Amino acid sequence: MNLPKGSSMDAYTDRLSEYLDDEDLDSLDRARIEDHLDTCSACRAVLAELRDVSARAGTLTDGAPAADLWPGVVARIATIPIGRPAARRISFTVPQLVAASLALMLLTGVMVWVARIGGTRVDIEPMAAAPGGDPRFTPAVEIADFADVSFDAAIADLEKALAAGRDTLDPQTVRVLEENLRAIDRAIDQSRQALIDDPANLFLNTHLAAARQRKLALLRSATALATKG
């Protein structure tokens, strides 16, 4: 705020702290205040006193409290986890997770429906095993092993690791993660049920394998996030 020429003495007095501190005072105001100080001994006296007040503030000495406050501090921090940042919580936005969950369920339903109604059917002729395992007789599509021990073991290991680290994940993330896993489990179950009736169905076999891979991938990702956090 500029000082109009011919301002009252109070107007100048009110700006003396600004003049003293020399913060953000424009050159015009500074010049006018200096002109006024040249002619006003009262303002010069006030300025000197303000300077004295400010200087005293800079000379204050610090002192410890009369009582020892440490017992009170240590009693309080004893209940608080050590002074490091809270474990990084991994989270996705709810719309992202819900959309992923819905898309997965929709995809699973459509794929199973397609497989049952009009999916590509591959009839695999029974073949005698060639001596020495002639590769020419290796089926183009690997028929899913419904009781895949290695798959179940891998899933179990990942689920165990995820359970151990799930506290580091955002609860909302855990909830949606579990929903996704349930959706994949449903897809796996549906595929398996459908394959009981139609074990040679290429589409169903592919879909079952893909669902298993999705479950493995999801569990691996979630476990990595949990152990990283």
Partner 1 sequence: MDQDVASATAGDVRAFEQLYRAHLPRVHSLVRRMAGGRDTDELTQDVFVRVWQKLGTFRGDSAFATWLHRLAVNVVIEKFRADALRRRRRSDDESVFDRLAAPRQSGDVSMDFEAALEKLPDGAREIFVLHDVEGYKHHEIATMLGISAGTSKAQLHRARMMLRRHLNARCGV
Interaction of residue 2 with partner 1, rule CB under 8 A = no
As measured in angstroms, the least distance from the Cβ of 4 to partner 1 is: 18
DSSP state of 135: G
As measured in angstroms, the least distance from the Cβ of 58 to partner 1 is: 7
Total residues found in the chain within this entry:
229
> Going by C-beta distance under 8 Å and a sequence separation of 6 or more, which residues neighbour residue 100?
176, 180
Q: How far apart are the first and last CA of the chain?
A: 53
Q: How many residues bind partner 1 (CB under 8 A)?
A: 37
CA distance 197 to 142: 17
Q: Which is nearer to partner 1, 74 or 149 (CB)?
A: 74
CA distance 182 to 189: 10
Contact 21, 51 (CB under 8 A): no
Q: Residue 9 has which token pair?
A: 């003495």
Among 7, 11, 17, 179, which residue sits at the site for partner 1 (rule: CB under 8 A)?
17
Cα torsion through 54, 55, 57, 58, rounded to 10: 130
> Going by C-beta distance under 8 Å and a sequence separation of 6 or more, which residues neighbour residue 175?
none
Among 4, 10, 22, 24, which residue sits at the site for partner 1 (rule: CB under 8 A)?
24
Q: Which is nearer to partner 1, 52 or 152 (CB)?
A: 52
Q: Which is nearer to partner 1, 15 or 215 (CB)?
A: 15
Q: x/- binding map, residues 48-87, to partner 1, per CB under 8 A? A: -xx-xxx-xxxxxxxxxx-x-xx-xxx-xx--x-xxxx--
Among 18, 29, 159, 198, which residue sits at the site for partner 1 (rule: CB under 8 A)?
18
Q: Which residues bind partner 1 (CB under 8 A)?
A: 1, 14, 16-18, 21, 23-24, 46, 49-50, 52-54, 56-65, 67, 69-70, 72-74, 76-77, 80, 82-85
